[in-house]
Amino acid sequence: MPSKFSSGKYAIAECDRCGQRYMLKELKKLIIKTKLVSIKVCPECWEPDQPQLSLGLYPVNDPQAVREPRPDNSYNSSGTSGLQLVPGSAGYPEGGSRTYQWGWNPVGGSSSEDIGLTPNYLISIGEVGTVMFNVAAWSAVTTYSVNDAVSYSGGFYLAIKVNINHAPTDVTYWESN
C-alpha cells in the first residue's frame, strides 16, 4: 500500500532551535520529560532527555529504619580504638562509651594512651583584622541617641547621652572611640 507522504529524500528543513537549514532526514525529534515532542533540531542542538526533569515520575522506595531492632548489650567493652573510657574518669557516660568522644570538648580522646596524640582541649589562635564601616559626619542639627556613632575632625565618637548641637569633643555627651 502506498504511503500518503513523499519520501522527503531531498527535502530541506530548518532547525526549530537555531534556525539553520539542514536536510530533513538529518533533523532529530526532542524528548522532554520522557515524551516525544514535535520539535525537530539539528545534530548540534540535539540533547538527550534531562534526568532531572523525571524526578517524581517514578516511585522511590528507600527505607531507613530497621524492623524490630535490638539494643547492643556489649556497650561497655565494644570498640578497639583506644577511646573507650574507664569508669570514674572525666567524660565517662553512664554505661560506657563506643568509639566516640562523649560530653563537651568533643575534639580528641580522653584515655591516657592518646592524650599526647589528640589533646582534649581547643585553643583558638589568631587575631582580628581591621573592621571598616562608614560613619556619618557629625551635624549640629541632628538629634543623636545613645550609642550613635559620628566622625568629627578625623576621629570617631560614640554618644553616651541623647543630645543635639553638642560637639563630639564635649565629654558629657560623647566618648572617643
Q: What is residue 96's predicted lDDT score, i.e. its pLDDT?
A: 46
Cell of 15: 532547525
How far apart, in Å, are the Cα atoms of 20 and each of 15, 37, 106? 6, 20, 64
Q: Which residue has the cell 553616651?
A: 160
C-alpha to C-alpha distance for 74 and 84, rounded to whole angstroms? 12
Cell of 9: 529524500
Q: Residue 15's pLDDT band (boundaries 50, 70, 90)?
A: very high
Q: Is the pLDDT of residue 30 over 50?
A: yes
**Averaged pLDDT for residues 137-147:** 91
Q: Is the pLDDT of residue 35 over 80?
A: yes
pLDDT digits over 65-123, tens only? 888 887 665 555 444 444 555 555 555 554 444 444 444 444 555 555 555 555 555 56
Neighbours of 63 (CB within 10 A): 6
Handedness of CA 89, 90, 94, 98 (dihedral sign): negative
C-alpha to C-alpha distance for 71 and 54, rounded to whole angstroms? 40
**pTM greater than 0.85:** no
Answer yes or no: are the C-beta atoms of 55 and 49 closer than 8 Å.
no
DSSP state letter for 26: G
Buried b (16+ CB within 10 A) or exposed e, 112-139: eeeeeeeebeeeeeeeeeeeeeeeeebe
Q: What is residue 72's predicted lDDT score, i.e. its pLDDT?
A: 61
Q: What is residue 100's predicted lDDT score, i.e. its pLDDT?
A: 47
Q: Taking Cα atoms as reference points, which of 74, 61, 112, 68 lies closest to residue 91?
A: 112
C-alpha to C-alpha distance for 163 and 147, rounded to whole angstroms? 11
Q: What is residue 115's predicted lDDT score, i.e. its pLDDT?
A: 57
